[in-house]
Amino acid sequence: MNQEKQVYISSVGFTNVGEHWNESIAQLAMSAITDVLDGTSIDQFDHIFVGNMMSSVISQQHNVGSFIADYCGFNGVPVVTIESAGSSGATAFHQAVLSILSGQINTALVLGVEKMTDSIGSSIYDVMSVGSDNDWELFHGVTLSGIAGLIMRRYMYQHNISNELFANFSINAHNNGANNSNAMFRNKINLERYLQANIVASPMNILDCAPDADGACAIVLTNECIEFSPGNHIRVAASNMSNSVLPLHDRSDILIFDAAHNSANMAYHQAGINAAQVDVAEIYDQFSIYAAMSLEACGFVQEGNGVDLANQGGIDINGVIPISTFGGLKSRGNPGGATGVYQIAEIALQLAGLAGVNQVRDPQWALAQCLGSSGGTAVTHILEKINIK
């Protein structure tokens, strides 16, 4: 990161993740923006960055950033819509950070928003799967969950493990999500329910899969060192994006998230820390196999050991690397282009000691990693708490 300039989080704001049948995409956005503005004295923005994946198709609205900015009363503020499939929100945040570091702007409003439920059933899965290689994957009926099923089968084969060993990713996510009032699924689950769950894309069952949902999350960024919570500054210590081969069939090893690995390593370099120093992480647990591979890509465990970590208590709130502490994609829900912003906002709350029952003990460094197109794109952020008491 540029040593001369710094970027700080001033405030975060949420809507609850779920099925908002009565709200439009602009109303969802307004709800998160109202919440974020409650937590900051900043009300003038130099630029607005909107992460959204699918409004052009689902809500049939292009230039949704401008549409939302107008609805929310930001007339005259430049706004751009940013899309990189599932990582759209994290990419919007990344672009906001780069813009502040460039010196061209001082304050930014980042919004991640997705209105999934204006499309339902298989049509929504198709829209989401368009983030993969349409001509050579979706055309053949290969959906996002199908891709994850193919990866999980191969992972189980090469590491000689059974599918029940993946259960703890979902059990942990639901345990944590139960305490998050913004989470979509607040029920706890157990191994018995996991083993009885319906198959989606074998060997993967419905409890291996994150639910798609509506949601909006907003973050205010500034170059000023202002408090996030009493006595705490939250600094963006690293902001990094990486791309790799998008279609599964062209990857040199389908069991390695290259982009996630590269993005995490560059983020550690920027922040000047290593993986062992990260106190809490939000990773992209869209499918439990992705959680295992993301733990490996981020260097929290050796390749092939992601599942072991989950079964040894390593990902629990008191584990060596707590993940999905607000429920993750699995329990909080996966509001597409908003997900990356939720992840960053959640680790900011952890650092500030505002995570309630799920608070990790005195974290200083937190990582959020968001993936797009089944890991073809990866965006990693590291936040640091600076205590000024």
- Contact residues toward other proteins (CB under 8 A) are 122-123, 125-126, 129, 135-143, 145-146, 149-151, 153-154, 157, 198-204, 245, 247-250, 252, 254
To other proteins, the closest distance from the beta carbon of 200 in angstroms equals: 5
CA distance 316 to 325: 8
Helix, coil or strand: residue 205 = strand
To other proteins, the closest distance from the beta carbon of 12 in angstroms equals: 33
Residue 6 tokens read as: 């710094």
HEC per residue, 241-299: EEECCCCHHHCCCCCCCHHHHHHHHHHHHHHCCCHHHCCEEECCCCEHHHHHHHHHHCC
Residue 205 tokens read as: 């069952």
To other proteins, the closest distance from the beta carbon of 156 in angstroms equals: 9
Q: CB nearer to other proteins: give 210 or 347.
A: 210
To other proteins, the closest distance from the beta carbon of 331 in angstroms equals: 20
Please report the DSSP string for 107-161 in residue order.
Answer: EEEEEEEE-GGGS-THHHHHHHHTTS-TTTTGGGT--HHHHHHHHHHHHHHHHT-
Q: CB nearer to other proteins: give 120 or 225.
A: 120
To other proteins, the closest distance from the beta carbon of 51 in angstroms equals: 25
To other proteins, the closest distance from the beta carbon of 206 in angstroms equals: 9
The whole-angstrom distance between residue 201's C-alpha and the CA centroid of its chain comes to 23
- Given the structure tokens 């629990």, which residue do they identify? 316
Name 287's bridge partners.
209
| Residues found in the chain | 389
Q: CB nearer to other proteins: give 98 or 156.
A: 156
To other proteins, the closest distance from the beta carbon of 132 in angstroms equals: 10
To other proteins, the closest distance from the beta carbon of 117 in angstroms equals: 17
Selection from 236, 321, 317 nearest residue 279 by Cα = 321
For residues 311, 312, 317, 318, the Cα torsion angle rounded to the nearest 10 degrees is: 170
Helix, coil or strand: residue 311 = helix
- Given the structure tokens 């060596």, which residue do they identify? 320
Query: DSSP letter at 255?
Result: T
| CB 25 within 8 Å of CB 362 | no
Selection from 75, 59, 179, 42 nearest residue 113 by Cα = 59
To other proteins, the closest distance from the beta carbon of 137 in angstroms equals: 6
Query: DSSP letter at 106?
Result: S
Q: CB nearer to other proteins: give 254 or 355.
A: 254
Helix, coil or strand: residue 14 = strand
Phi, psi values for residue 323, rounded to 5°: -125, 165
CA distance 7 to 247: 34
